[in-house]
Amino acid sequence: MEWYEALILGITQGLTEFLPISSSGHLELGSYLLNTDTSQNLLFSIIVHIATAISILYVFRKDIYNLIKGFLSFKKNDESEFILKIIISSIPVAIIGLLYEEKIEKLFSGNITLVGSMLLVTSLLLLLTFFQKNNSKKNITYLTAFIIGIAQSIAIFPGISRSGATISTALFLKINKEEATRFSFIMVLIPIFGILLLKIYKGVMTPDIINYSDDILVYLIGFISALISGVIACKWMIKIVKESKLIYFAFYCFIVGSSSLLFGFKNNENSLFTIKPIMSIENLRSIALKSSPPEIHSIDDTINLVDIENLNSSIKLDIRYATKNNFMQTKFYKKPKAFLNHAPAQNLISAHKELNDFGYGIVIYDAYRPWFITKMFWEGTPDELKHFVADPSKGSVHNKGCAIDIGLYDLETQKIVKMISGYDEFSEKAYPNYTGGTLEERKIRDLLINVMKKNNFKVYKFEWWHFDFQNCNSKVLNYSFEELDSLIS
């Protein structure tokens, strides 16, 4: 993480933790735009949370001092009752956080479409407070404390503002504005310190907390920026609620949420990575069919290809080159088939069964590829992108029936798993060591790579989906799928 990223994310954390615009939602958006995954850096996350907790302690230092003093008198008084209400309000968020936080993080991480929709929900909540202009003298009861706690638990969804949800709920319940704001800010101390303890525990149980090469200046900048912006935002928010100006933040959340939705939908629509071939497909095919594959010496000159679908029907096929859903938007194969040599095919099945234990199955995008198709790819790809395609003068491992392009599908839903990049995406996201994306995307990619390595496959340095079988002695083949069907049968 660079110092300016720490500054921006620290200010974002401090401001949005207290202003009713969702800190988690803005951190998701900030991380997406900066291509920085804060979930990857556990230590940074702990530091900025400590900073925001200190900002609350500073702003409400007199209230907190009186609460602690009254509670330690061990008598039934307003202070001890207030603390009990705070504890009651923390029950829903503790239950939801412990049971569902990881699932919700997986659902929202890197998904600005869902974050945008939640920001629209926050906008609606804040808009409704416009009709609660009259201030009342009603204080918080044990029941209303629990209801406000439920509102706080809903804010576990990135895009739902914690302060917006709790203060709006308190105002709907006719709670006094000053009391609503005070309770909303002090009640968050328990979840914040709870999150800190969990994160510290996670760091102690794993090496995540100490394995960072970032300079200490980066963490210091993140801490100071979160602390100062947190104090400013906290004081500002108290004034905003008193003056009934939450409506302005409703407009802000609506604009940001709508923009996120539009950008997210547009990004999803263009998720297929494509290039414009440097010549027509007809010319490429003509050149390829007139050319001859290289005469490369091999130990095994026999055709030992097998149809994977016949060996294991639970391995899914999504043969992209049998459709137009590929980087050249051209149908290269007449039918969707996946052939491999016998040895790599057996190892692939072994890897598939191992992945089943993690809830995943293998989906094949491409396997054996006739040499003339490799020639078409090469001749049609611009020079600056040629490192993503095989050089036909040397022959591809695909042409030998020893390479496989794969992804994963979820065994429970049977849906293709969204990976860190699209298949055949000619960008750095395709690199197996790419450090961007979300933590979950990197975990799934690394799981696939590690399982394939255990089964004698080596990942290609430019493509996380491409695996070469390490003991390949076959020759370069140029048979079409139709010719192979007849030869195998």
Rounded-to-integer distance, Cα 260 and Cα 112, Å:
6
- Looking at residue 183, the DSSP 8-state letter turns out to be H
Give the contacts of 217 (CB within 8 A, at least 6 positions apart).
Answer: 3
* pLDDT recorded at residue 45: 75
Q: Is the dihedral of CA 329, 332, 333, 339 positive or negative?
A: negative
The class (CATH top level) of 281-488 is: alpha beta
Confidence of residue 36 (pLDDT cuts 50, 70, 90): low
Rounded mean pLDDT of 39-53? 75
* pLDDT recorded at residue 2: 78
Instruction: Determine which of 68-72, 196-200, 253-257, 448-452 has the lowest per-residue pLDDT on average.
Output: 196-200
Confidence of residue 40 (pLDDT cuts 50, 70, 90): very low
End-to-end CA, the chain: 57
- The token pair at 176 is 């006094």
- The token pair at 160 is 């739902």
pTM of the model: 0.58
Top-confidence residue, 37 or 150: 150
Where are the domain boundaries for CATH 3.30.1380.10 in the chain? 281-488
Torsion over CA of 156, 161, 162 and 168, rounded to 10 degrees? -130
Give the contacts of 312 (CB within 8 A, at least 6 positions apart).
Answer: 349, 352
Is the Cβ–Cβ distance between 340 and 368 less than 8 Å?
yes
* pLDDT recorded at residue 6: 85
Rounded mean pLDDT of 443-467? 96
CB neighbourhood size of 33 (10 A):
11
Instruction: Determine which of 177-181, 299-303, 419-423, 470-474 has the lowest per-residue pLDDT on average.
Output: 299-303
* pLDDT recorded at residue 32: 63
Confidence of residue 203 (pLDDT cuts 50, 70, 90): low
* pLDDT recorded at residue 238: 87
